[in-house]
Amino acid sequence: MPTIWFILIAFVLTMYIILDGFDLGAGAIFHLITKDEREKRAVQKAILPVWDGNEVWLVAAGGALLLAFPLLYSSSLSGFYLPVFILLWLLILRGIGLEMREILDNELWRSFWDFVFFIGSLPLPFFFGVALANVMRGVPINKGHYFFQPLWNHPLDPLGKNPGILDWYTVTIGLLTLSAVVMHGATYLTAKTTGGLRASSRIAAAASWLSTLGLTVLATPLTFYLLPQRFDNFRAAPWGYVFPLVAVAGLLLTGYSLVRGWDKRAFGGSCAYIVGMMGSTTFAVYPKVLPAVNPQNSLTIYNAAAPQHSLVVGIIGWGIGLLLASVYFAIVYRMFRGRVTAD
């Protein structure tokens, strides 16, 4: 059961990055690709019907952590107290910016909320990437399974005994995540919009594809050089190489599709890249759910899991809720299929 819950939570987090990732990416490049009010409305209408539903996957992941791995939930939220609140405020600002701009028909009012939407969207993928890098690197958990991590501490020594949240390694992974999410959002807008906005989105998608390619080539060997223990699972179970292969194939498909003008395939390749990268990360850390600087203090699916009865009962109720949410998403995305015009 702990392994099943580990896989389910990894799946839900991956779905969140895929679905909420494209509207975060669209928000991050909002001011770069729009030339007038009509195009701004087109971008926002391309994500308005789905953005709040997309965040259900993040809520589902948080609920699953509390239900299946309560020790992980309490330890990580207390240790990452400041970053968690930064992320919450950014999520709030992004949502407010989207929903408030149309309340008044005033240019200054819309410009202010457009800026709030942009500010709420741009840093979020970066901080999500930083959080993921901290999990990969390990945090200074004590024997009581709690830790405190400053925002930065010895930024040139990411493997120190008391690492900070921000250092050159975590910033690199954060930039990679931001670039990948921007690519994801730009390919989504390319497939969802028309005219000049579609052309601008394609340019942004191509630029972010190049940066994602470069940062992937940099970050992947860097991770295995700094953290050779993350390679152990791949050596023990070579079938795990399917995940990095999916990521590579998805990135190549995105680039090729952008050249050929295949908008939907480019977005599909971006989705595959995210699946491959998330799969590689979760495969590398399993069975740990929060590695520690001192490996003996790490939280695993075994010492952080709820009792067996809770896991069995919880998966029934949580599974029904996830099934209903999936049906809802299928209906909404089917109703919302097709391109959005500037009019």
Assess contact for 216 and 292: CB atoms under 8 A: no
Tokens representing residue 297 in the block: 């203090």
Assess contact for 128 and 91: CB atoms under 8 A: no
Spatial distance between the Cα atoms of 202 and 206, rounded to a whole number of angstroms: 6
- Residue 289 is predicted with a pLDDT of 92
Tokens representing residue 79 in the block: 């240790």
β-pairing verdict for 299-300 and 288-290: antiparallel
Model confidence pLDDT, tens digit, residues 133-145? 998 888 888 888 8
- Residue 70 is predicted with a pLDDT of 93
- Residue 193 is predicted with a pLDDT of 92
Q: Where are the beta strands (DSSP E) in the chain?
A: 288-290, 299-300
What's the full length of the chain, in residues? 343
Helix, coil or strand: residue 119: helix
pTM score over 0.85: yes
- Residue 156 is predicted with a pLDDT of 78
Residue 136: closest CA among 55, 216, 222, 211: 222
The string of DSSP codes covering 271-331 is: HHHHHHHHHHHHHHHTTEEE-BSSGGG-EETTTSPPPHHHHHHHHHHHHHHHHHHHHHHHH
Residue spans of the chain under pLDDT 50: none
Tokens representing residue 313 in the block: 């009962």
Q: Domains of the chain by range and CATH? A: 2-335 (1.20.1630.10)
Q: What angle do CA 192, 10, 282 make, to 5 degrees?
A: 110
Which bin fits 146, alpha (ψ -120 to 50), beta or left (φ > 0)?
Answer: beta
Spatial distance between the Cα atoms of 63 and 92, rounded to a whole number of angstroms: 19
Helix (H) or strand (E) holding 20: helix 2-28
Tokens representing residue 305 in the block: 């899991």
